[in-house]
Amino acid sequence: MAESDLTEIPTEVVRTALCETIETKLKSKNYKITITSASKAGESNFIGIVHRVTFNKEGEDKLEKLILKVAPLHLARRTQFNSRPLFLQEISTYNEILPFFRQFEMSKGVAIEENGFVEYPKCYRTIDEEPNECLFLEDLSVRGFAIIDRYTQEVTTDHVYLFMKALGKLHAISFALKDQQPEKFKELASSLKEMFLRANEEFIGEFFDKQAESIFKVLENAEDAHLLAKMKKVFENGAMNVALECLDLDGTDPGSVISHGDSWQNNLMFRYDKNGKPIEISLLDWQISRYSSPIIDIVYFMFCCTTKELRDDHYDDFLKVYHESLSAHIRRLGSDPEKLFPFAVMLEHFRKYAKFGLVLSTVLLPMITTDRGNGLDLDELAVKFEKNKENNFENKEDLDAFNSFISDNSRNKFNKRLRDVVGDMARLGYV
């Protein structure tokens, strides 16, 4: 194999680990390798650089694949996007939390492939050495999985049902483990740090306030005066504080779980049957895993990734499917769901903490509704942030970077989706 085949891989440490991983899988040192981009930075991927690695033995036609997710080397980008802590958290989730969850399920007699939580890719190897942080992951496309193309497809009822069922199983493990092995659960949960809402960084709060201004703009019509008044009241102490209050463990415990943390549609892959119906799901990107109310994962997805029309028709059903999946898996694991997280308590969590989905919609909807190819240069953005941060963000335009996703073509779609989120928050009694 020629060295030039690995020019896309940034460091010798990662190149060596990749070769070792391939040689182990193939049981051979003679192979061909192709490396291509697996996601577009600044459009669907912000923290890591994701490569698809295709390889096969010399003289054989059978191709094998894996995903290599590596931290960026650009110093400003590593700093401004918190790259190393995020990679270490995902590495810990794959190496410690998810394997222990699997072990706990097996110890309770759960038939893993039939009823266990298996909805995530295999992890073959990780490196936590700075600046070589990376993960070698299963390429789910080999099994027919694909991400929803947000430019041409909408999330459907079947997508949401699969998500709710998988999420129910994931959260159930936390409830049962906390019930039966509280010290071990505390150890796992305490290893997770809040990676998204960095309250000690003032500019993060300013960024969220800037995004929240989008809500006020879409409610400028006279008929929305009542909603505008509600939103002004909700955000009177800042958007960041609204989100942090939803993650306050003093309020959410004991009904808190180890959650996925970043459950928007680009972090979900689906496998489809011959008729195009989604029949299997996998959850990607565990970098923002957190200890929180279980409804945080739900409102993140529901209010950022589904349309009002879908929520109007199926919202109550989605919540029931989630709770049924949660309850069934808690029982399989030997605990009582009515004691740990009954339906009425879940609804109370929604009333208290669903505003998290409102805050996150201001960040994600610009990306979800944008035109294809309308991405950001992350290295350039990181440098701007770094320089501006030194000047206490005197240039507020840099804080508006995410809104550059909103083009003239996508503005109407963005405005409608955000207005619909606000309307549903009010209709459901969450604000």
Judge if the upstream peptide bond of residue 131 is cis by omega within 30 degrees of 0: yes
Q: Which residues of 237-250 are buried (b: 16+ CB within 10 A; e: fewer)?
A: eebbbbbbebbeee
How long is the chain? 431
Number of continuous H segments (helices) and E segments (strands) in the chain:
18, 10
> Cα(328)–Cα(168) distance, rounded to whole angstroms?
9
Specify whether the CB–CB gap between 263 and 297 falls below 8 A: yes
pLDDT digits (tens, 9 = 90+) for 145-198: 999 999 999 999 999 999 999 999 999 999 999 999 999 999 999 999 999 998
pLDDT of residue 384: 65
- Burial of 163 from C-beta contacts in 10 A (0-12 / 13-18 / 19+): buried
pLDDT of residue 4: 46
Beta strands per DSSP E along 154-196? none
pLDDT of residue 2: 42
First to last CA, the chain: 60
pLDDT of residue 45: 64
pLDDT of residue 204: 85
How would you classify the pairing of strands 257-259 and 145-147? Answer: unpaired
In three-state secondary structure terms, 283 is strand
Q: Which residues contact 358 (CB under 8 A, 6 or more apart)?
A: 215, 234, 242, 303, 421, 422, 425, 430, 431
pLDDT of residue 243: 96
Please list the ranges in the chain whose pLDDT falls under 50. 2-4
State the chain's mean pLDDT as an integer.
Answer: 92
Q: Which residues of 148-159 are buried (b: 16+ CB within 10 A; e: fewer)?
A: bebeeeebbeeb
pLDDT of residue 14: 97
CATH number of 78-120+154-427: 3.90.1200
- Widest pairwise Cα distance in the chain: 71
Enumerate the domain spans of the chain.
78-120+154-427
Share of the chain above pLDDT 70, in %: 91
Q: How far is CA 224 from the centre of its chain?
A: 31
Q: What is the 8-class DSSP label of residue 264?
A: S
Indicate left, alpha or beta for 194 from its phi (over 0: left) and psi (-120 to 50: alpha).
Answer: beta
Q: Choose among 80, 77, 51, 79: nearest CA to 66.
A: 51
Judge if the upstream peptide bond of residue 254 is cis by omega within 30 degrees of 0: yes
